[in-house]
């Protein structure tokens, strides 16, 4: 009986999530088209869409270390990736306009893909060298323009037990733009929305922001990726050790 109740609750949550997302994406695209400015569409994501999704999932959010972010400085944010919930979590937790690096396939989806393209998200064709180079150039341009870009350097979702090694390619943009890399750890999102299906459960999601890593402090993008990976691992262990 308990499983049946949860299936009914999750079905309602899924309908809410789809309608909430489609509705606010439509509104964001309309507002951005009228004003010819992306900031309003991105602001709607972090102030309305993301909080609404967290509320619908019954997720509580705790954030530590925001004082380590300078308000007007661009960052290449790198985070571990546990769940599809990580995107609204970071939109809400960091509370600034964010451009995400994502798989190009997502850009082909109705509504979500339209929003991603309109808002200047960086869409990566991972197995095509020329396209990968273009994504680095696009990320660099965002950073040089003073914008913050979010990357999940594991390349795909990891697990609560084992974080995947960070891929190094995206870190080149931080070197070119001379932008600091900001390590961020997320814990608990996979308990709220596990990979595979839509078995949502209420829970606490915790986010911890680490000390920025400046490209000039390391030798090369490989060393920068390693330093960022070690920082995210340490932050994650801090979140999950108590």
Q: What φ, ψ does residue 88 adopt, rounded to 5°?
A: -65, -30
What does CATH list as the number for 59-240?
3.40.1130.10
Check: CB of residue 16 under 8 Å from CB of residue 52: no
- Report which of 130, 137, 168 is spatially closest to residue 151, judged by C-alpha positions: 168
Query: For the chain, what are the domain ranges?
Result: 59-240
Check: CB of residue 85 under 8 Å from CB of residue 201: no
| Helix (H) or strand (E) segment spanning residue 175 | helix 172-177
Please report the pLDDT score of residue 159 as a whole number. 62
Please report the pLDDT score of residue 242 as a whole number. 67
Beta bridge partners of 75: 180
Q: What φ, ψ does residue 182 adopt, rounded to 5°?
A: -110, 110
Please report the pLDDT score of residue 39 as a whole number. 87
What does pTM read for this prediction?
0.91
Q: Would you write out the chain's pLDDT as a tens digit for each of its 242 residues?
A: 678 888 999 999 999 999 999 999 999 999 999 988 888 899 999 999 999 999 999 999 999 999 999 988 999 999 999 999 999 999 999 988 999 998 888 878 888 889 999 998 998 876 665 667 788 899 999 999 999 999 999 877 666 667 888 988 889 999 899 999 999 999 999 999 998 888 999 999 999 999 999 988 777 788 899 999 999 999 999 999 86
Please report the pLDDT score of residue 88 as a whole number. 96
């Amino acid at each position: 009986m308990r499983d049946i109740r949860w299936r009914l609750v999750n079905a309602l949550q899924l309908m809410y999530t789809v309608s909430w997302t489609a509705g606010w994406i439509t509104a964001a695209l309309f507002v951005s088209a009228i004003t010819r400015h992306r900031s309003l569409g991105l602001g709607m994501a972090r102030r309305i869409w993301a909080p609404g999704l967290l509320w619908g999932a019954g997720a509580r959010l705790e954030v530590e270390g925001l004082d380590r972010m300078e308000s007007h400085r661009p960052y290449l944010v790198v985070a571990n990736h546990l769940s599809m919930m990580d995107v609204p979590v970071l939109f809400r937790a960091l509370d600034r306009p964010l451009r995400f690096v994502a798989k190009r396939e997502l850009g082909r989806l109705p509504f979500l893909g339209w929003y991603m393209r309109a808002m200047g998200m960086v869409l990566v064709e991972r197995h095509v060298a020329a396209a990968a180079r273009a994504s680095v150039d696009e990320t660099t341009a965002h950073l040089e323009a003073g914008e913050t870009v979010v990357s999940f350097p594991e390349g795909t979702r990891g697990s609560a037990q084992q974080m995947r090694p960070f891929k190094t390619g995206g870190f080149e943009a931080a070197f070119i733009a001379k932008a600091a890399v900001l390590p961020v750890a997320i814990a608990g999102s996979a308990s709220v929305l596990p990979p595979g299906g839509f078995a949502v459960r209420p829970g606490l999601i915790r986010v911890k922001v680490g000390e920025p890593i400046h490209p000039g402090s390391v030798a090369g993008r490989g060393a920068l990726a390693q330093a960022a990976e070690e920082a995210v691992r340490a932050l994650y262990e801090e979140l999950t050790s108590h």
